[in-house]
Structure 1
Amino acid sequence: MAAQLSPAIEQQTIVPVAEASTVTRDSRPLRFITCGSVDDGKSTLIGRLLWDTKAVKEDQAAALNRDSGKQNDLGLPDFALLLDGLQAEREQGITIDVAYRYFATDRRSFIVADTPGHVQYTRNMATGASTADLAVLLVDARTGLLEQTRRHATIAALMGIRQFVLAVNKIDLTDYDEAGFHAIARQFRELALTLGVRNVVAIPVSALRGENIVYPATGSMPWYEGQTLVDALEKATQRAGQSTGFRMGVQRVSRPGEGFRGYQGTVTGGSIKPGDSVVVLPSGVEANVRQIVTFDLIRNAAVAGDAITLVLDRPVDIARGDMIAAIDQRPLTGTAFSARLVALSPDGIEAGKRYWLKAGSRRQRVQVSPVTALDLASGAWSPATRLPLNTIGTVHLDFEETAIFDAYDTNRQTGAFILIDPETNNTVAGGMIEGKRGRPGSLGHDGDQDRVTITLPAHLAEAFRESDFARAHRAEIKVSGPEEVEGE
């Protein structure tokens, strides 16, 4: 088929306008990511979207035309260069880092994260998905769903994204094959259902030609009467607020003088006002809020996202890493949790190995035991004893001391964590808490009542700490003189 643009597209997309519309829009932009396998056209699609929504300024357009060198057969610049800013990205024609861009239409404003498609940069894709309301998943119309497509869809769903736009790109290279488009859309909807996602909009697009991106391609695809990509984005909903009570991880204890003690941090859930009752975890001490202070004023309330200093009505022993929470809506506490992981290290996740787990300002030792791994080809979960690089799996987390979490579905901020290798300090996994886990054979329903405390001489303490008995009973080891050995 001849390479030509429809008149509407040709007239409106070659020269960008310097300023976007000033129509009043929603107060918070819709955040979305583009994801999918390598070479499916993610950067080109977003570049074209920015160009057609007049988000490219005149100086940017001039630089784009200069950097593009020889233009393509359509007389258009290389739109991917609007997103791929690293020298290595431009040299190799790939996306490595996550690129964030802001743009707006007459109806709405957006923040898009263009994420890499290569397997080795999966961690960057997970980062972009962690704050997104919606995922635009690209598929090459010639190849259909690939393993990396399934991986990205699964990670996005695990991150709590419940709205997908399936952009079947390069549809022009299949002579606008309607049957092929519907087959890919059907396969993806089946995959989405297994991930718990029911809100899927499938759109046949040509990112390079600008078809069904901002302007409908009725001339080349008369058989498609659905939404354009911009239509779908404008109609999307923002992720609903999460239902936890007040949460604030303590980052710093402020003592500017003898008469003031405040606890500083960012609110990660709920709201707080003077007079509210709170509990300090893990100690369980209760207090009331006397004052909420920020940099330049005293406030009468604070909500999620606010950085504040809390002043309580009584002296409380609080340290960095503790959590202050609503007294009537407390997070989960315990030493055993179930979670899902995305393995990000070439060495994978080893069974029984101890890692540092970092969640907010809290860092704790944890032993990780893989349970199952996801087969991306079949969608089945199989028993696993280790998680290789880029594998998605479920694990058991066993802590040496009390941990504090919410389920990720309830609160993304307090339900997410990373694992750090203590030997290399490299981040080896990103995880999401599923819930608190009981232990088989424990004395109580949550397994916290069967802790054993043993006092041993120093030369025996470290060896016993690594024993199966100590791990099974979460033994607390106390060091004493050689003459004193006791247990309880």
Structure 2
Amino acid sequence: MKSMLRFMTSGSVDDGKSTLIGRLLRDSGALPEDRIGDVTDLALIADGLEAEREQGITIDVAHLSFATSRRRFLLADAPGHEQYTRNMATGASNADAAIVLVDAFKGLLPQTRRHAYIARLLGIRTFCLAVNKMDLVGFDRDRFEAIAAELAAFLARIGGGALTAIPVSALHGDNVVERSTDTPWHEGPTLLDYLETVEVAPQGSHIRFRMPVQHVIRDGSFRAYAGTIAAGQVKPGDDVAILPSNRHARIERIVAMGGDLEVAEAPQSVALTFTDPIDCSRGDMIADPEHPPHIADQFEATLIWMGDAPLLPGRQYLLKIGTQTVPATVQKPKHKISVDTLEQLATKTLELNEIGTANVWTARPIVFESYEANRPLGGFILIDRLSGNTVAAGLIHFALYRAENVHAQALTVTAERRAALMGQAPKLLWFTGLSGAGKSTIANLVETKLHALGRHTFLMDGDNVRLGLNRDLGFTAADRVENIRRAGEAARLMTDAGLIVLAAFISPFRAERDMVRAMMGGGRFVEIFIDTPLEEAERRDAKGLYARARAGEIANFTGIASPYEPPERPEIRIDTLATSAGTAADLIVRYLEDRDAG
């Protein structure tokens, strides 16, 4: 059976990647004969999107499968424009080798270095430098060798890798499939020779057994756990651990499409059965019990930011790693990388296409390896919870010390017992709305009424919290996210104590309000939207804040220079143009009493 090489092409725009791929496919015989006569522009063979044909650039990652007499190939053609760097990272994540294309006349460009850096970050250790358009520089050997030396030096600075340099002219076919008579000084392979013979180390073959569970197969009494083996091998009779629960089991059968196997290894997809029934589900990891992967809820990672909106430290995203999906927050980046100089630069966030290092916290422990040790188990993506868009690719370095050494302490007196002693159902009443909407006024009236009914309460006002717990925070988007996170954590502790907590915060972003809702759990979160139009809030403006914001004296003021995202499905909506503060308070108290009675 022919071996498979997964490789990608990268480089700056207009370096000729699409033309090179078209030439490689046509001259190697990989392009079907019925298409050869239809293609007059070699670049169109790779550029599948209509927008690419119109603009003359590669936008999406074009995945192409082809074969020669010696090998099978899966090619990912990555876009060259800086704005599509996120697409390039997608192509690099599953490749074993990279062809870095450089225009012989232009030389190495910032985007060339960016692509090489990301490819190296994502685990590629085998590089081919194709110096294209050699015909435009008269097949100058000195020019070719200078470019090769420059890329070799850059690779050495970012961790090294095997590099083979080839002078080519994609337009005329020099050294793509056939050796060129214009480069008698080139003693290395043609591009096709290189692709057919280059050796790359198999991913994960040397690592202990790991298999993320993707699906549980049930058929009567038959139960099997299906997934793709990420590392190592497994045999019937092997003892394994189910993580993160750390329950142990023994493999009974390895079920595959063609029948049972005596042994399976990465990257085969199989289903495993156990000798005894055991609780195992999607998101769990089946692994070597003597050498398990890490289990932690905090780790350091490199992030390649792909979102149009910048990273907001403290905002809750969804982290997907293998078959595990969990809420996660990114802390303030430790630094970002200048791809041109490789300097570590101070930063408070990451913008589109920037690369940096930060600590990541997950809502519960996850199972992982470092990306360096195991790409499938060390790479993750971050997903915006509201839009569903992927905003970052991440590469785990190591678990943080405190994550593996700080553990929750079991307590005898539970939250339920504290609530029973107080004779009430703990709740967090979260009042949100524009500045001047009346949040604090209504919340104060609600607490007064609850207090008169004998309820145990505590009111957290946004301004009061900023005078103490959050006095170190400003009003940037990142600081606002952290302001709400801290307030939510404090409120959660107080509801665990059995209290009814009233929190009056502008809390302009839905993502953070949803984060607090998830933090509370168990239906204890009640979102109360104090709905007041901006013009009415400005008219009230008792503190004069809107006037100062309009005058440019207050930056990032909600409703003026920073957006307010109204709740989409609040439990309670108060229209302050139609409802007085006292009536609103009565409505809220009645809502709580009805829920408690139900």
- TM range, normalised to the smaller chain? 0.7 to 0.9
Name 1:211's counterpart in structure 2: 174
SS in 2 for 1:269: coil
Q: For the residues of structure 2 that align with 1:284 and 1:190, how far apart are their CA atoms?
A: 46
Looking at structure 2, the residues matched to 476 and 46 of structure 1 have their Cα atoms a distance apart, in angstroms, of 59
Alignment of structure 1 residues 389-468 onto 2, 5 Å: 389-439=352-402, 446-449=404-407, 455=415, 458-459=426-427, 468=486
Partner of 1:346: 308
**Counterpart for residue 355 of structure 1:** 317
Q: CA deviation at 1:122?
A: 1.7
Are residue 291 (structure 1) and residue 259 (structure 2) matched?
A: no
Instruction: Render the CA deviation track for 1:108-145: whole Å, top value 9, x for unaligned.
Output: 33332221111222222112212212110011112111
Shift of 1:335: 1.2
**1:292 positional shift:** 2.4
Contact between 1:461 and 1:477, CA under 8 Å: does it hold in 2?
A: no
1:50 aligns with 2:25: yes
CA-to-aligned-CA distance 1:365-423 (integer Å, 9 cap, x gap)? 11112222110111112232211101111121111211110111221111111100112
| Gap regions ≥5 residues in structure 1 | 1-25, 65-76, 484-488
Q: Once the two structures are superposed, what CA deviation does each residue of 1:449-476 show, in whole Å capped at 9, x if it has no partner?
A: 366978486435998996559979xx99
Q: Tell me the residue number matched to 1:60.
A: 35
More strand by share: 1
CA distance in structure 2 between the partners assigned to 1:461 and 1:362 by the alignment: 32
* 1:142-153 to 2 correspondences below 5 Å: 142-153=105-116
CA distance in 2 between counterparts of 1:407 and 1:476 reads 33
- 149-158 vs 459-468, which deviates more? 459-468
C-alpha spacing 1:244/1:468, structure 2 compared with 1 (3 Å)? farther
**Structure 1 residues 471, 238: CA separation in 2 closer, same or farther (over 3 Å shift)?**
farther
Structure 2 equivalent of residue 85 of structure 1: 48
User: TM-score normalised to the size of structure 1?
Assistant: 0.83
Alignment of 1:76-155 (within 5 A): 77-155=40-118
2:145 maps to which of 159, 182, 189: 182
Q: Spell out the pairing of 1:175-254 with structure 2 (5 A cutoff).
A: 175-218=138-181, 220-242=182-204, 243-254=206-217
Match of 2:6 among 31, 37, 52: 31
Tell me the distance in 2 between the aligned counterparts of 1:261 and 1:234.
42
Question: Which residue does the alignment assign to 2:441?
Answer: none
- Take 1:448 and 1:477, find their aligned partners in 2: how far apart are those partners? 22
Q: Partner of 2:126 in structure 1?
A: 163
Distance 2:494 2:340 in 1: 45
Contact 1:336 1:437 in 2 (8 A): yes
Q: For residue 340 of structure 2, what is the aligned residue in structure 1?
A: 377
Cα distance, 1:44–1:451 mapped onto 2, change above 3 Å:
farther
2: distance between equivalents of 1:122 and 1:84?
Answer: 17
Q: 1:290 to 1:354 in 2, by over 3 A?
A: same
**TM-score, with normalisation over the residues of structure 2?**
0.68
Cα distance in 1, alignment partners of residues 494 and 94 from structure 2: 41
Q: Show the counterpart of 2:538.
A: none
Answer whether contact 1:35 1:42 (CA < 8 A) is retained: yes
Correspondence 1:300 to 2:259: no
Conserved? CA contact 1:461–1:478, under 8 Å:
no
What residue identity is the alignment partner of 1:28?
Answer: S
Kindly provide the CA deviation profile for residues 315-365 of structure 1, in whole angstroms up to 9, marking residues without a partner as x: 322232111111122111111111111111111322222110011221001
Output the CA distance in 2 between the equivalents of 1:108 and 1:256. 40
- Partners of 1:178 and 1:298 in 2: how far apart? 57
Q: Indicate conservation of the 8 Å contact 2:428/2:495, yes or no.
A: no
Provide closer, same or farther for how the CA distance between residues 142 and 436 of structure 1 changes in structure 2, counting only shifts above 3 A: same
Contact 1:267 1:306 (8 Å CA) reproduced: yes
Give 1:97 shift: 1.9
Q: Percent identity?
A: 44
Residues 330 and 469 (structure 1 numbering): CA distance in 2 closer, same or farther, change over 3 Å?
A: farther
Residue of structure 1 in register with 2:226 after alignment: 264
Return closer, same or farther for 1:102/1:179 CA change in 2, 3 Å cut-off.
Answer: same
Deviations 1:27-64 (A, max 9, x none): 32222111011111001001111121122222111221
1:172-230 CA distance string (max 9 Å, x none): 11222333222222211111101212311122211101112122223x33443333222
In 2, Cα distance between equivalents of 1:246 and 1:254: 21
Q: Secondary structure at the match of 1:161?
A: coil
Say which of 295, 300, 313 aligns to 1:333: 295
Given that residues 335 and 448 in structure 1 are in contact (C-alpha distance below 8 angstroms), is that contact kept between their aligned partners in structure 2? no
CA shift, 1:272, in A, is: 1.5
- Structure 2: unaligned runs, 5 residues or longer: 420-425, 431-459, 461-468, 470-481, 501-598
Per mean C-alpha deviation after superposition, the further-off stretch among 199-208 and 40-49 is 199-208
What is the CA–CA distance in structure 1 between the aligned matches of 2:138 and 2:494, rounded to whole Å? 70
What is the number of equivalent residue pairs in this alignment?
438
AA aligned to 1:27 is K
Q: Which amino acid aligns with 2:22?
A: G
Q: How far apart, CA to CA, are the structure 2 residues paired with 1:373 and 1:108? A: 40
Q: Does structure 2 retain, via aligned residues, the 8 Å contact 1:122–1:390?
A: yes
Aligned CA distance change for structure 1 residues 316 and 106 (closer, same or farther; 3 Å) = closer
- Give, as a single letter, the amino acid of the residue that structure 1 aligns with 2:405: G
Q: Which residue of 2 aligns with 1:14?
A: none
Distance 1:467 1:54 in 2: 59
Letter paired with 1:398: W
Contact 1:461 1:479 in 2 (8 A): no
Q: Determine the structure 2 residue equivalent to 1:388.
A: 351
More helix by share: 2
